[in-house]
């Protein structure tokens, strides 16, 4: 048995069902004598001081889970990700299944998937000017009309090359089925300890996606004489404007996103369903 005394609910109120689900879950937890705190999706950049939280419940879609994972990455608690629409790549548990999943986890029948998270920092003139964590990916691309950007990439201390492209995506295995996949990157099982480097529309066709060890560190330098302004995004939710000479460091975070696994479907079933694989 896992003892749950205090639950944090992170809710996407933009979904009509969000308030209804909040009331349903709050009433259930109250009857069980379990304390509950609520936090709205995109209410702010930091979590109010909450002590002794044992579990987070994410109510929304995949975007809500990404937000929740960044919000609580320092707490080291599992997330019960409940999708308020159809199940997503990350939110495998539907709104009809939440109670059974909660009780099955409490009784020790459901495991936890420990997901690699990214740590992203930007150094400018030898000073750290930006830092963030992400569960899906981090993207460097153009913000102006001219799409092609020039980036110099290194992995650890090894020069990888000067990339001319529309940008580059650094994804985790969890994020391999998101923007990276749309840009031609590989699907990587969420349990793997790896990072994926995917160029966006590279000027040279020989530049291909690359899967690297989770222990590797990626350095991206914004070289001078760019034709456009550049942006850095984390999980598509945090944005930062880059300047020439900026050095971006991307590496595996010390924190991991702990997602409670569904007993109704696994990673391969989700991929098959969402990508509509049918064989034949």
Query: What is the Cα–Cα distance from 182 to 275, expressed in whole angstroms?
Result: 12
* Sign of the alpha-carbon dihedral angle for 42, 67, 73, 140: negative
Answer yes or no: are the C-beta atoms of 243 and 78 closer than 8 Å: no
CB neighbours of residue 111 within 10 Å:
12
Query: What is the Cα–Cα distance from 59 to 100, expressed in whole angstroms?
Result: 15
Q: Which of 16, 52, 54, 62 is catalytic?
A: 62
Answer yes or no: are the C-beta atoms of 45 and 26 closer than 8 Å: no
62 is catalytic: yes
Answer yes or no: are the C-beta atoms of 232 and 139 closer than 8 Å: yes
Active-site residue set = 62
């Amino acid at each position: 048995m896992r003892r749950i005394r205090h639950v944090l609910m992170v809710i996407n109120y933009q979904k009509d069902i969000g308030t209804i689900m909040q009331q349903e879950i709050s009433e259930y937890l109250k009857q069980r004598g379990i304390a509950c705190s609520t936090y709205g999706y995109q209410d702010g950049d930091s979590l109010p001081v909450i002590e002794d939280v044992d579990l987070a419940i994410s109510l929304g879609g995949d975007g809500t889970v990404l937000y929740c994972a960044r919000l609580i990455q320092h707490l080291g608690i599992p997330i019960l990700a409940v999708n308020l629409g159809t199940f997503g790549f990350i939110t495998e548990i539907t709104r009809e299944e939440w109670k059974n999943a909660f009780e099955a986890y409490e009784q020790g029948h459901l495991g936890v998937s420990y997901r690699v998270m990214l740590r992203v920092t930007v150094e400018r003139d030898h000073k750290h000017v930006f830092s963030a964590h992400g569960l899906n990916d981090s993207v460097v691309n153009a913000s102006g009309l001219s799409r092609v950007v020039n980036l110099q990439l290194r992995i650890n201390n090894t020069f990888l090359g000067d990339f001319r492209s529309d940008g580059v995506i650094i994804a985790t295995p969890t994020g391999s089925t998101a923007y990276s996949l749309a840009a031609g990157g590989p699907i990587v099982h969420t349990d793997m300890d790896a990072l994926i480097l995917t160029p966006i529309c590279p000027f040279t066709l020989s530049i291909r996606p690359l899967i690297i060890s989770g222990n590797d560190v990626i350095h991206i330098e914004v070289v001078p004489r760019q034709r456009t302004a550049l942006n850095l995004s984390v999980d598509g939710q945090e944005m930062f404007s880059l300047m020439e000479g900026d050095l971006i460091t991307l590496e595996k975070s010390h924190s991991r996103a702990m997602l409670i696994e569904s007993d109704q479907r696994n990673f391969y079933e989700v991929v098959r369903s969402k990508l509509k694989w049918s064989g034949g």
